[in-house]
Structure 1
Amino acid sequence: MAIFFTIIFVILLFKDGMNDSPPNRSIKKNTIFKEFEICESLTEEPFSDFSNRKNNLKFVATKNNECFIECDVISSPKPIINWYKNDELYKSYLNNYMDHTDDLINSKNFKSQMGWSSILSKIEINPYNVGDKFHCEVINPCMNERIISQAYTVPQNASNSCTKNSKNKRYLSPSRLSNMFGIRNYFNVYQPKKVEVPIITAATTMRMEYPGNLITLSCQSEAYPKATNKWELIEGEDEDGIGTSIENIEYLKVLNNGDLFFNTTQIPEDVAGMTFRCNASNSGGWESFLSTILFVAEQ
């Protein structure tokens, strides 16, 4: 197993509601992006699309009056997802080489792969976003195009119904523990900091792959302090039940970016699928997300 993680290290070391126009699924040619060398190992033609072509973006309000805009994507291989606010780049997810660890290693090992992923990405909406227009852009590393969602303009009622996902909390600031001479500063050691509860912003809903390939399940979040991801294997049909920690399972490993790395060569042939739960947590709270893997026999 150690050899697989050595390969990862070497590869990464050297690779340094209102819906308005545009239309439901517009395509723009992509002339600046083609970085990942993962295209030749795909057994099917690469593709990217929205799970719902008619309504690309979904506005979600939780019981705690927290609001989000979601973009649900299906793609082969895993895409890059960008969010735009008022036509300017706002957030970018799955845009680092480590986010595509499985695709990179499978291609280096000349493994044929299906590479099919369903990805859910979301951004938080706050009262001060009223009137802002957001859209989601999906970039496939193996295609010379990008697809763009409808635009969603945050309505006026969000000013009352969408509370900010953060709270004031006294948080120890390391920068105040000592001054430039290394002497502890006893004055105003504690400063009020804004603690942000983790929000899982890009995660794998489902992954379909051939047995024997390497797989990563994405679970990226935004939080302050930075969230720690702990993964569990869900056994049985109760997805809300207690899971088994993956810490002692030798073919599973959490990468530095929080994704779950899975060496499926050690899985029995009769296993058709597995479900995992990502728990992203910090001192302010936590959020969890379920990811499912389905194994498909290669034709």
Structure 2
Amino acid sequence: MIRGRITTCDHKIFELPELLSWDVRYTGSVPCDSYKVTFSYTAELEPVLRRAAGFTLMDGENVLLRGIVDEYEIRQTEDGLSGLLAGRGYAARLLDNESRAATYQGAALRDIVRSHVTPYGIPCDRTADISSGAELYTVAAGSSQWKALEGFCRAYGNFSPTFDRYGRLWAAPEKIGKTFVLSDSNSILSLVKRENHYGVLSEVLVIDKTRNQMHRACDQDWIDRGGQCRRVLYTPGQSTWAKMRYTGAYQLAQSRAEEETVEAVLAGGFLAFPGDRVELNLERTGLRGMYRVAEARTRAGADGQTTALTLRPV
């Protein structure tokens, strides 16, 4: 049975009445996981909702999502009384809080986590063993705590940190979840494959005018397929050759990150989570191959439950 639990600002826990509907979106990163639930309402819940700070969605004793509370509503209509609770996953704590400007030399990722994550009560399940070495890592004024963390992970580990549905940070390359096969025998309600070539880069020129250096990064596969889209980037004077190469490769990879997408809507709830792998074996459409779950969204109401998966090639 799916149920909701509120944690108040004074650390008290209240079970919500029967849930009428839920809409839960998992991304594992940014934009944040998010949720919206409706429930039967009674007047005794009003002071609880005013103090609501955290929310946990559960299936029996299994946690489906932990997050913060962004808003609530109390509704009175001809159908009766109901309440609505909505919010985001714990990545929101890092997005909502701004970092002070800072410069690190020889910093390890664990130092970045200690300064920019730990103060917000977010547990870290794993921290990759990476550091900036002799280089300076700068957090610009106005950066969010998330940007401070992700920028370091991108620059020195070539990965983006993720959150699991328990609200724990995984500051390491993506953790691969379960793998399952999606075939014509599954309860597929709809399926769309989309390939968008707009903005896919074939070449990036990274130029450091101070050092009079230039690096050219190319996506030969895309060039062979007829792609022709170049960008020129100018880096700050302190950029190293390694960073210049990383920037070019990073821009190419980012431009192709959402080139191919498969969107599948399946009957049932909470069937997959970001990081899971889906092997497509669909004879009717001819789609085959291994994909990762980039986003999973479960919705439920009077008409039952569905799970919408956004899949991208591994």
TM-score range, shorter chain: under 0.3
| Higher relative contact order (CA closer than 8 Å, sequence separation 6+) | 1
Determine which structure has more spread, i.e. the larger CA radius of gyration.
2
TM-score, scaled relative to structure 2: 0.21
TM-score, scaled relative to structure 1: 0.22
